[in-house]
Amino acid sequence: MQKTERLVLIGASFAFALIPLVSQSSLSQTPSSQKPSFEVTSVKPSVQTGIRGGGPRGNSFTFTGPLSFMVQMAYSRLAAGPGPGIQIQIAGAPGWMVSDLFDVQAKADCSSGPIPREQMQLMLQSLLEERFQLKAHYETREMPLYHLVVVKEGKMKLSEDQTPPGPQAGGPLLCGPLPAALAAPPGPRGFDPSKPSTLPRGAMVMMMNSTTGMTMGASATPIGGLASMLQGQAGRPVIDKTNLKGLFDISLQFSREGQPGLAGIGAPPPGAGPAGIAGTGGPGGLTPNAAAEPLPSLFTAVQEQLGMKLESTKGPVDFLVIDSVQKPTEN
């Protein structure tokens, strides 16, 4: 029987994202009247049965998935370097924001050249406010979270090349050229998250396999990027408290059993949301070896494979509180 595999590349592209995007030092609070916007937008209910995600390619932004994912793309904090950044927690969202899927297409004016991600987020906010009548405000709440700490030195492997990846390591820019890693014709990409050397520098990959569980991989990525990846799987915010500096090559394999939520797969927990490309394994693509023995849980794998620990604690967390939102009208 054919194995089911799902691959998500985070950081090398926003196209077909499954995990949120998120270099802002503080959450944007630009008034609606001052926000830039797309020239043309199309929003309609999706006929897709699975979450596809989305992102920019050339002058277009496309997205298919639940509105909750798109809200996170628009309002989460971007990372200062490679990685998906800090996922905003969402409160007060009606159930259809998670259950209903939408197809969104938007075109931008590229006459001024590539559009920075911060500006694209403001454009997405404008789209949400105009087409979904979204009204929301920010709050800081005390809630359970995890601190990522080191418990055993020497487990983490520094990348041989410590040069920061280029500006597009976080994904293509709206109105910008397509990164070389994504410019090849469609087909098997050969990314293997268990082998960081196969990944573009700055890329972070997650692969879900029905037999071998979940595999995370990253190339030339700061520890903050790892914390962001773990957050989507741990079901709580993850804060980097390791004090580890530099760029790392990372590989982590663990069981999906008992996890509170899988970012990008099904209904996400609050704070799970997108940046990357998704695809499937197959002939010529990824075919991981079947697990020889049961895989450890996420928490055990982090300790045994990375020499770190997710310590449960409480702390202040940024929330986007939904005041009101409506399903979009016909185009």
- Best mean pLDDT range from 139-143, 273-277, 326-330: 139-143
The residue ranking higher by pLDDT, 168 or 227, is 227
* Contacting residues for 234 by C-beta, under 8 A, at least 6 apart: 146, 260, 298, 310
Q: Cβ–Cβ contacts within 10 Å for residue 287, how many?
A: 13
Report the pLDDT value the prediction gives residue 200, as an integer from 0 to 100: 81
Average pLDDT of the chain is 77
DSSP category for residue 132: S
- Provide the pLDDT for residue 84: 54
Alpha carbons 46 and 199: distance in angstroms, whole number: 32
Helices (H), the chain: 67-75, 96-99, 117-131, 180-183, 223-234, 298-306
pLDDT at 231: 85
Residue 104 scores a pLDDT above 80: yes
**The pLDDT value given to residue 1:** 44
**Region of poorest pLDDT, from 95-99, 266-270, 307-311:** 266-270
pLDDT tens digits for range 271-296: 333 333 332 223 233 334 444 568 89
Q: What is the pLDDT of residues 32-71, one digit of tens each?
A: 668 999 999 999 999 887 656 788 989 999 999 999 989 9
Residue 208 confidence (pLDDT) = 75
Q: Is the pTM of this model over 0.75?
A: no
**Cβ burial 92-124 (10 Å sphere, 16+ → b, else e):** ebeeebbeebbbbbbbbeeeeebbebebbbbbb
Residue 10 vs residue 331, higher pLDDT = 331
pLDDT higher at 13 or 230: 230
Asked whether the predicted pLDDT for residue 3 surpasses 70, the reply is no
Task: State the Cα–Cα distance between residues 105 and 266, nearest whole angstrom.
Answer: 22
Residue 182 or residue 62, greater confidence: 62
pLDDT at 172: 79
CB 86 within 8 A of CB 228: yes
Query: Would the pLDDT of 184 be above 60?
Result: no
User: Which span out of 166-170, 209-213, 309-313 was modeled with the highest average pLDDT?
Assistant: 309-313
